[in-house]
Every structure is written in structure tokens, then in C-alpha cells.
Chains A and B, each alone.
Chain A
Amino acid sequence: MAREGRAGPRRRPVEPFLWLLFSGGGMAAAVLVPVLVLLFGVVFPLAGGPPYDHLRAVAAHPLTRVALLGLAVLAFFHWAHRFRFAVEHGLGLGRLDRLIAPLCYGAALAGSAAAAHVLFLTL
């Protein structure tokens, strides 16, 4: 049967690495993100947050910085992977994979760089 080429996304050898980042991000986010959103997004704004000095000490601790950077990088790549397929499959745009995928993973890369900047250069 004649077909006008593959309708879906084309694969690159980088795919398994992207999937590993996606999976790591899914796991890290599953364990860490709900409690952080609950505290900083809902409880602290309503009931008052921790004193500034304590929060600064916790945030500036080297282990916290490394952990937050790891969470940020993995979570951003987790988003990039899911968002890429959600757009390609959910809106029938698989043909545009070569445009959509670089945009998604590129955004994750930029976000990771921004996270590194905030955590290690401003703090």
C-alpha cells in the first residue's frame, strides 16, 4: 500500500536518554512536588511562612541546592517529554515532531540553566 512517508515522529538515538530523564523526573516529582506545593503554595501563604533566616539557611545549604537543581532538571525534562507527546498525539501534530521536540526539550534545557543560575549564582 502506498504511503506518503511516516505520519508519526521520527526517532533519534537520543530517545532512550530522553525517556530516562522523563522517568527520573516523574519519580522525583511524584515524591517531592506535592508536599512542596502544599507548603509553599497553600499552607504558608495562608498561615504564614517560616522565618526568613531559617528559610534562607535551608535553601542555601549545599545539599538543598543540589537536590533542588536535580529536581528542576528532571522535572523540566519530564514536562518536555509528556508535553511533546500530548501536543503531537493530542492535537494530531505528529508530522511536526522535528519542530515540536526541539522546542520542548530546548525549553527544558533553558529552564535547567535558569535553575542553575538561581541556585548557584544568586543564592
Chain B
Amino acid sequence: MTAPDDTAARYRRPVPVLWWTGRRPYLLFMIREFSSVFVAWSVVYLLLLVRAVAAGPAAYRGFMELSASWWMLALNVAALALTLFHTITWFVVTPKAVAVRVLGVRLPAFMVAGPLYTAWIAVSAFVVWLLVR
């Protein structure tokens, strides 16, 4: 028996097309990426609202009725869940992705994440105040 050709006979394990379904961290990663669809949807929804507001009180009423329909509510509850997932994952990942150095020493993760959560709460509170005062 001759020695097998070392370079020709390597085995390459094929990657399944849906590789991310087989392992939890990969699946969570894909959900994180997919949350961007709901980020975009939320902005589209807001722009539709602005367009209705621009068109007058009747159009605004019409939009509010549409937004109270069960399927629109379901869509927006899903959007809320996934945009929250986006925010949390974004804030978990940012302190690792950005090395903030003060006087040559890298700040610990909580000192980067802390201001992010603070800004999130402050901006959210401001938006609520702006709209429902």
C-alpha cells in the first residue's frame, strides 16, 4: 500500500446552511441580529405616525385606531421585546468593544456600562415627560 496523498485527502467538515440553529449562543446571536428588523420597523411605524399627524386630526385618529387593532398591537409588543433585547445586548457588548482609557488605565466594564444605562433611563424619562405632561 502506498502512502495516501497527504494534501489531497484532507477532510473538510461541511458547514450546515442553518448552522446557527444547532447551538444556543449562535441562536441568541442570530436573534440579536434579527432585532435590527424590529428597530427598522419601529422607525417606519413612527414615521407613519408623523405622516398621519401632518395630515390632520382625522388622520391621527385613524392611525390611533389602526394602532389599537390586535395585530398591530401584537406586532408592536414583539417590537418592544426585540428592541429591548437590542438595547440590553448592545449595552452588554459595548464595554468590551470600546476600551476607554483614563491616564493609561482601562476603565472596568461597569464604568462604561453605567453611563449607558443612565443615559438610557434619562432619555426615556425625557421622552415620557415630553409626550404625556
A10 interface contact, C-beta 8 A? no
Could you mark each residue 103-133 of chain B with 1 if its beta carbon is under 8 Å from any beta carbon of chain A, else 0?
0000000000000100110011001101110
Residue A9, interface by CB 8 Å: no
Also in contact, A90 and B33, with CB within 8 A (given A35-B124, A37-B79)? yes
User: Do A111 and B54 have beta carbons less than 8 Å apart?
Assistant: no
Beta-carbon contacts under 8 Å, A76-123 to B: 76, 78-79, 81-83, 85-86, 90-92, 111, 114-115, 118-119, 122-123
Least CB separation from B34: chain A residue: A86
Question: What residues on A are CB-neighbors of B79 within 8 Å?
Answer: 37, 41
C-alpha gap A1/B87 in the complex (Å): 44
- The range of chain B's interface size is 35 or more
- Map CB proximity to B onto A42-53 as digits: 1 under 8 Å, 0 otherwise: 101110011010
Q: Once the chains bind, are A92 and B17 in contact (CB under 8 Å)?
A: yes
CB distance from A9 to the nearest CB of B (A): 15
Tally of A-B Cβ pairs under 8 angstroms: 155
For B45, what are the chain A residues with a Cβ–Cβ distance below 8 Å? 37, 40-41
| Listed A/B pairs (19) with beta-carbon separation below 8 Å | A27-B94, A30-B91, A32-B127, A34-B80, A35-B123, A39-B132, A41-B45, A41-B67, A50-B132, A68-B47, A71-B43, A81-B36, A83-B33, A85-B33, A86-B36, A91-B18, A92-B17, A111-B43, A123-B54
Q: Which residues of A contact B (CB under 8 A)?
A: 1, 25-27, 29-42, 44-46, 49-50, 52, 54-56, 58-59, 68, 71-72, 75-76, 78-79, 81-83, 85-86, 90-92, 111, 114-115, 118-119, 122-123
Interfacial residues, chain B to chain A (CB-CB below 8 A):
7, 15, 17-18, 20, 30, 33-34, 36-37, 39-40, 42-47, 49-51, 53-55, 57, 60, 64, 67-68, 72-73, 75-77, 79-80, 83-84, 86-87, 90-91, 94, 116, 119-120, 123-124, 127-128, 130-132
